[in-house]
Amino acid sequence: MLKIAYGEASFDNLRNRGDLYIDKTHFISLMENHTKFFFIRPRRFGKSLWLSVLHAYYDTNKKDIFDKLFDGLYIQKSPTNYKNSYLILRFDFSGLNTEDENSLKSDFTFRIKKEIKRFYREYKSIFGDAFYKDFENESVSLSAAQMVNSLKEEVQNTKYKVYVLIDEYDHYANKLASEGRESFVKNIVSQTGFVREFYEQMKIASGEGVFERFFITGVSPIMLDELASGFNILSDMTVDPGFNEMIGFTINDVQWLLDKVSEERYIHKTKEEVLKDLIYYYNGYCFSNEAKTRLFNSDMVLYFMEKFSRIGYPSDLLDENVKTDYVKLRGLIVGASGKAKLQSIIEEVNLNDTLIVSLTKRFNFTQRFGDNELKSLLFYLGLLTFSDKSERFQIPNQVIRTLYWEYLRKFLEESLTIEFDMRLLSKALYEMAEVGKADSLKELAVDFFQEKLSGYDFSGLTEKHVKFLFVSYFTLSKLYNIISERELPGKKRIDLLFEAHPAFYEYVLYNFIVEFKYIRKKDTEEEANQKRKDAISQAREYYEVYKRDFKQFGRKLRSLALIVAHSREVELIEVCGFGS
């Protein structure tokens, strides 16, 4: 069985226990070309673990255990001249108290003090046993900036240099922005702000050659513009193609993981078929317009693999912890731009599949984010990624597309006070899954379009728009993976595919194709009749193609035509498979 320590961010713990680690250490030598390294990646992509790798590699205290920690990894055989040569100063700014400026300043100062105390304790062989206690007494009246200055002066008396690692540099700023408190952020990074003073001391220590290297990471660059005035020495390597694959898994990494799984797990699907699923659900991230390799979110893959290697397909394809993080990100996006703006972008990307974005690399809080800033923020947060075309961005994978649908459902709940009917949904899905009937699906569609969306303006909506409003309902379901625009040979696409979730193969006996048509107010009677005929024709054609070219894994296939009119009339037509 794979030894996956899901959620573990300590490299030392992984290696000491013999847990799985995907080797990324060949990037260490490349990083050394940039002494002040700034690097943004989405939540749960492996940033904290990478900081831990750097800590283990450069820490002079870990010289004696280097071979144990890096045994069999690339960097053990090809170490650089800087191996185990630094004192490590490491900060983590997640979870700070942001109730008000005083509480944030107090908590921020406490974090600095706590880390510097650790620093003196860990390096007591250099600074002496008594130094830790002396700092404890002296630091009571010192600010964060003063403590950094004091540490710099002490290190100057030694032969060593400091490598500074900062994790979640932007966490508190993101939280404040999500609450609409941008002015708070401006205060703390202003010329007299305590955060600005802290980074100014960092810059001074760097200029004097004491703090020789930096690695700073977070999930967004929204504080980078404010930092730059006091700490303008960073090399922003976020979209550099040479570091596209430094964090995240390549397809070769995922294939290697699947090879480690016991063959008994490949009962319903072959290894190649499971890989296809992982590509569809978790792959697709690209962080540079010049990079060719697309990446998997490492956390999502490890979540899947930990479950799959033990019990088979997880019932939730997205870990609840990740989903919670993305709910928080929705708060950040809404706080920075407004709910209506985010809703319009969700609709735009679902309608067009791509968005045109001129990537913003620095943000400021003098005004609310505009269209381009918000779309850029979605890229940094992992909700959009580079496409194959310049300045065009796309949704990276099906899991993130489903999150967009969930965001839309929440908008409908909040703006129209819709209460989604779980009883109707459960009835419809179980009827489809167990007996292959669609009567309750029609009942659900009628209730949704005639009752739930009674206050929604249908007049300017397109067919795609109406369809993904309906799709948002099914994010509450687990039995089926709902796939929109499933591609078929010949560049044809199924409107909606209800495909059995592998974790529920025992219960879901039927897959469904649904061809969706929307009759607009301006459509003539002839056009409306043609749309109805097209829906039936496509439902029949796609049924035959999908049945011929795609495995059903023991499920039976049925196809439907769903026609919704601007007047909210709903027609559901059984097309193929119902006689079998």
H/E run at residue 16: helix 11-17
Pairing of strands 86-92, 235-236: unpaired
Residue 246 per-residue DSSP state: S
For the CA atoms of 530, 531, 537, 543, the dihedral, rounded to the nearest 10 degrees, stands at 180
Please check whether residues 26 and 98 belong to one and the same domain.
yes
Beta bridge partners, 488, equal: 492
Please check whether residues 186 and 108 belong to one and the same domain.
yes
pLDDT at 228 over 70: no
Q: Please tell me whether the overall predicted TM-score, pTM, comes out greater than 0.85 for this model.
A: yes
* 260 in a structural domain: yes
pLDDT in tens, 44-62: 899 999 999 999 999 999 9
Cβ pair 226, 365 in contact under 8 A: yes
**pLDDT at residue 342 in the model:** 80
Structure tokens at 484: 């929109």
**pLDDT at residue 118 in the model:** 93
Cβ pair 11, 52 in contact under 8 A: yes
Q: Which of 142, 148, 199, 139 is nearest to 169 (CA)?
A: 199
- Determine the Cα–Cα distance for residues 165 and 211; give it in Å rounded to an integer: 11
H/E run at residue 470: helix 463-473
Where residue 160 sits, what CATH number does that domain have?
A: 3.40.50
H/E run at residue 112: helix 101-122
pLDDT in tens, 517-560: 999 999 999 999 999 999 999 999 999 999 999 999 999 999 99
**pLDDT at residue 100 in the model:** 86
Banded pLDDT at 464 (limits 50, 70, 90): confident
Distance (Å) of CA 248 to CA 301, 538, 572: 9, 39, 43
Q: Which of 337, 507, 322 is nearest to 430 (CA)?
A: 507
Residues near 446 by beta carbon (within 8 Å), at least 6 away in sequence: 570
pLDDT at 325 over 80: no
- Determine the Cα–Cα distance for residues 301 and 399; give it in Å rounded to an integer: 12
- Determine the Cα–Cα distance for residues 469 and 420; give it in Å rounded to an integer: 12
For the CA atoms of 482, 488, 493, 496, the dihedral, rounded to the nearest 10 degrees, stands at -20
pLDDT at 206 over 90: yes
Buried b (16+ CB within 10 A) or exposed e, 316-338: ebbbeebeebbeebbebbbbbbe
Q: What is the mean pLDDT of residues 2-6?
A: 82
Please give the single-letter amino acid code of residue 454.
S
pLDDT at 232 over 90: no
Higher pLDDT, residue 451 or 178? 451
Please check whether residues 192 and 73 belong to one and the same domain.
yes
Strand order across the beta sheet in which 392-394 lies: 354-356, 392-394, 385-386
3-state secondary structure of 175: helix
* 116 in a structural domain: yes
3-state secondary structure of 487: strand
Average pLDDT, the chain: 90
* E strand residue ranges, 306-371: 354-356
- Number of domains making up the chain: 4
pLDDT at 454 over 90: no
For the CA atoms of 89, 93, 95, 98, the dihedral, rounded to the nearest 10 degrees, stands at 130
Please check whether residues 263 and 368 belong to one and the same domain.
no
Please check whether residues 280 and 334 belong to one and the same domain.
no
Three-class DSSP labels, 44-75:
CCCHHHHHHHHHHHHEHHHHHHHHHHCCCCHH
Q: Which of 350-364, 505-519, 526-540, 560-574 has the lowest mean pLDDT?
A: 350-364
Q: What is the mean pLDDT of residues 286-304?
A: 94
* 351 in a structural domain: yes
Final residue of a structural domain among 291, 310, 329: 310
* 459 in a structural domain: yes
* 21 in a structural domain: yes
* 298 in a structural domain: yes
Find which of 134-143, 229-238, 430-439 is predicted with most confidence, using mean pLDDT. 430-439
Cβ pair 72, 20 in contact under 8 A: no
* E strand residue ranges, 271-391: 354-356, 385-386
Beta bridge partners, 517, equal: 563
Final residue of a structural domain among 211, 238, 265: 238
**pLDDT at residue 580 in the model:** 62
Please check whether residues 70 and 209 belong to one and the same domain.
yes
Please check whether residues 394 and 449 belong to one and the same domain.
no
Banded pLDDT at 306 (limits 50, 70, 90): very high
Structure tokens at 234: 């960073």
Helices 101-122 and 129-138 pack at an angle, to 10 degrees, of 170
Domain that holds residue 487: 417-576
Max Cα distance, the chain (Å):
90
Please check whether residues 305 and 325 belong to one and the same domain.
no
Structure tokens at 290: 């010049």
Which residue bears the tokens 């067009």? 352
Please check whether residues 548 and 507 belong to one and the same domain.
yes
Cβ pair 421, 451 in contact under 8 A: no
Task: Tell me the HSE value of 67 on the side-chain side, using a 13 A CA sphere.
Answer: 1
How many other C-beta atoms lie within 10 A of the C-beta of residue 84? 16
**pLDDT at residue 561 in the model:** 97
**pLDDT at residue 230 in the model:** 61
How many other C-beta atoms lie within 10 A of the C-beta of residue 372? 14
Please check whether residues 375 and 284 belong to one and the same domain.
no
Q: Could you tell me where the DSSP H helices lie in 233-319?
A: 251-259, 271-282, 298-310
Which residue bears the tokens 């709940």? 413
Q: Which of 98-102, 159-163, 413-417, 461-465 has the lowest mean pLDDT?
A: 413-417
- Determine the Cα–Cα distance for residues 404 and 343; give it in Å rounded to an integer: 9
Final residue of a structural domain among 281, 310, 339: 310
**pLDDT at residue 5 in the model:** 83
Q: Is 111 exposed, middle or buried (0-12, 13-18, 19+ CB in 10 A)?
A: middle
3-state secondary structure of 488: strand
Q: Is 167 exposed, middle or buried (0-12, 13-18, 19+ CB in 10 A)?
A: buried
* 72 in a structural domain: yes
Please check whether residues 287 and 349 belong to one and the same domain.
no
Structure tokens at 23: 């080797």
* 315 in a structural domain: no
Banded pLDDT at 367 (limits 50, 70, 90): low
Please check whether residues 263 and 326 belong to one and the same domain.
no
pLDDT in tens, 376-414: 988 998 999 999 888 899 999 999 998 888 888 888 888
**If you write DSSP's letter for every residue of 508-569 in order, what string do you get?**
--EEEEEEEEEE-TT--HHHHHHHHHHHHHHHHHHHHHHHHHS--TT-EEEEEEEEEETT--
Residue 183 per-residue DSSP state: H
